[in-house]
Chain A
C-alpha cells in the first residue's frame, strides 16, 4: 500500500513588542534569570492583567498578511494545566473566539503553486523556562512568562516534509517583512509543532495523528517529519494502530519519544478569562493597519521582475528575506545595474557569510560599498576575479573597495603600450602556439591569454589583451 503524509502545523511566534502581553515587564531575550518579572507575570493572587495594545495591532497585522478575516469580536480564555513553567497554573489564551480566522498562504513547490489554509491565529502568553541543572530539582526562570505570542494554526494541507519546510519559511519571511517579530529561531522566537498522520494515498479520511512539539529550526522540522512518517508507516505495516499522543523531538539523537497521551490528559477546561474584557476591532482600525502593511514578499517579487527586469529566480532569492531585499533596494537606488547587483548578492556574498558564520543582518559591508566595487568591475578598473578578492578583503576589514584596489595594486592593465610589450615577448617565446594558430587551431589563443594573465598577475584586461594577442600573432604569421 502506498501511504501519503498529511501535515498540519501550529506555529508559535513571539511578537516583537517592548513589553509583555499583560504587564509592563520587558520582553528582551537573554536577561539574567527572573529579573523581568512583576506580580502579574509571577501569577500573584489579586493582580489584574491589562492587554498590551501593540499585541492587538501586531496580531491584526499578522492576520492581514496571512489573508485572514479579523474578528470583530474576540475574547481571552484560560487554558488550565499544571506545569511549573506556568506560575498561574493556566495559560491566558484564546479558545473559541480567536482574533483571526480563515487565511491562506500560497507556496511554490517545484514550480507549482499550492494553497495552505490558515485555520486560525490567536494571541496568548508564552510560558517560562525550565532549567534542569539542579540535581535534586528543576529550576524555573519566569522571564519569558507573559511574552506575547501568536499561534498560527494551519489546515492539514501539507503532504511532505518539503512542503512543510517551504510553508514555514514562507510564513517566517512574511512575518519578518511585516515587522511583527524578529523570527529568530535560535532564540526561540519562532517554534513549530507538527501534526502528522498517514493515510492510504488517495483516501479522503484522515488517519490518527501525533503532535510533535517545539521544533525550533527548519532542519529539525524536516528531520522530525521524516522520522515520524517512517515510524508511523512501520507501526501501520505491523498492523498496530497509531496512538494519538504528543511526542518530543530530540534533535541531537534524531529520534522522538512519546511525551503524554492526549487521550487522557487533554482536558484543559477552557473558560472565559474574567479579568480581561472583550476585544472589539472596528473596520476603520483594520483598514488603517492594512494601509500601513509593507510590501509583502510575493508583491515585491513581482515588482522586481517587472521594474528591474530580473529573472524570476533572482527575484525569488532576493525577496526571500526582508534584509536581503532591503540591501538590494538600497544598492539599486544608487546604481542602476540590478542584474549585476543581483548576481553578486546571490553568488558571491553567501559563501563569504557562510565562511564567517554570519547572517545577512550582520554583514560588514554596506550597499554603497558593494556598489563602489561593482562600478570598479563594470568600468574594467579591476577584473571580475580581482573583484571577488576585493570583496573578501572588504568582508574582513570593512575597508572601501577603492582603497583596497590601490593598496594591493589590483587595477587592471589597460595601458596598451605596456601590455603590447609583454604580449610581444610571450608570443615570441611560444612559436609553437603561433604555428598552431597558423594551421587553424584557435585553442592556442587560450594558452597565450593564460600566459599573459600569469605574467600580469591577472591584472590585464582580458578583452584588451585578447585584441592585442590576435594583432601580434597576425603580425608574426606575416
Chain B
C-alpha cells in the first residue's frame, strides 16, 4: 500500500480535517488504491516527453490595467457570517 496512516493524518492536519481512527484506516486504503492506480503511469517511458505545466494550449491571457467598479462595502460583507466596523469578523487570531 502506497499510503500510510501517518500520511493521511498529516494531510488531514494541513487541511484542518479531523478523522476517527476507522476513517483514517479507510482513507488510507481508498486513497492508497487511487494512488497505486495512478502509479501505472510511471511504467511509461516519458524521457522524451516535455513536462505538462498546463493542460490548456493557451498562453498570455492578460487584462488591461484599467479600474472597474468594485462591490460596495455592504455587498462585500453580505455573505459574511459576522462583521463589524466595515470588516469581516473572524475568530480571534492567535499571534
B70 contacts A139, CB within 8 Å? no
Say yes or no: is B63 at the interface (Cβ < 8 Å to chain A): yes
A51-110, CB < 8 A from B: 51-54, 56, 73, 75, 80, 82-84, 97
Interface bracket on B: 35 or more
- Quote the shortest CB–CB distance from A192 to chain B (angstroms): 20
Known: A33-B86, A269-B14. A277 touches B72 (CB 8 A): no
A166 to B60 Cα, complex, angstroms: 37
- Quote the shortest CB–CB distance from B10 to chain A (angstroms): 8
- Quote the shortest CB–CB distance from B73 to chain A (angstroms): 5
A24 to B89 Cα, complex, angstroms: 25
A259 to B65 Cα, complex, angstroms: 36
Say yes or no: is B61 at the interface (Cβ < 8 Å to chain A): yes
Say yes or no: is B34 at the interface (Cβ < 8 Å to chain A): no
Digit string of B57-95 for contact with A (CB within 8 Å is 1, else 0)? 011111111111011110011000010111111111101
Say yes or no: is A2 at the interface (Cβ < 8 Å to chain B): no
- Quote the shortest CB–CB distance from A239 to chain B (angstroms): 30
Interface SS of B by simple majority: loop
On chain A, the residues within 8 Å of B41 by CB distance are none
How many residue pairs link A and B with beta carbons under 8 A? The number is: 128
On chain A, the residues within 8 Å of B90 by CB distance are 84, 137-140
- Quote the shortest CB–CB distance from A273 to chain B (angstroms): 9
Digit string of A1-27 for contact with B (CB within 8 Å is 1, else 0)? 000000000000000011100001110
B59 contacts A278, CB within 8 Å? yes
Interface bracket on A: 35 or more
Known: A42-B76, A134-B89, A267-B14. A37 touches B70 (CB 8 A): yes
B66 contacts A24, CB within 8 Å? yes
Known: A37-B71, A75-B53, A267-B14. A136 touches B92 (CB 8 A): yes
On chain A, the residues within 8 Å of B64 by CB distance are 53
Known: A18-B67, A75-B54, A137-B82. A33 touches B89 (CB 8 A): no
A140 to B83 Cα, complex, angstroms: 9
A26 contacts B70, CB within 8 Å? yes
Closest residue of chain A to B57 (Cβ to Cβ) is A277
A83 to B95 Cα, complex, angstroms: 11
A132 to B94 Cα, complex, angstroms: 10
On chain A, the residues within 8 Å of B91 by CB distance are 137-138
A34 contacts B73, CB within 8 Å? yes
Say yes or no: is A471 at the interface (Cβ < 8 Å to chain B): no
On chain A, the residues within 8 Å of B53 by CB distance are 73, 75, 97, 272, 278
On chain B, the residues within 8 Å of A133 by CB distance are 85
A131 contacts B87, CB within 8 Å? yes
On chain B, the residues within 8 Å of A35 by CB distance are 70, 72-73, 76, 86
B59 contacts A277, CB within 8 Å? yes
A101-143, CB < 8 A from B: 130-134, 136-142
- Quote the shortest CB–CB distance from B42 to chain A (angstroms): 18
What 4 A-B pairs come out closest when comparing CB atoms? A24-B68, A139-B87, A53-B62, A54-B65
Q: Which residues of A approach B to under 8 Å, CB–CB? A: 17-19, 24-26, 32-39, 42, 50-54, 56, 73, 75, 80, 82-84, 97, 130-134, 136-142, 248, 267, 269, 272, 274, 276-280
Q: Which residues of B approach A to under 8 Å, CB–CB? A: 14, 16, 53-56, 58-68, 70-73, 76-77, 82, 84-93, 95
Q: Can you identify 13 A-B contacts, CB atoms within 8 angstroms?
A: A18-B67, A24-B66, A25-B70, A35-B86, A36-B70, A37-B76, A51-B62, A51-B63, A73-B53, A97-B53, A131-B87, A141-B87, A277-B54
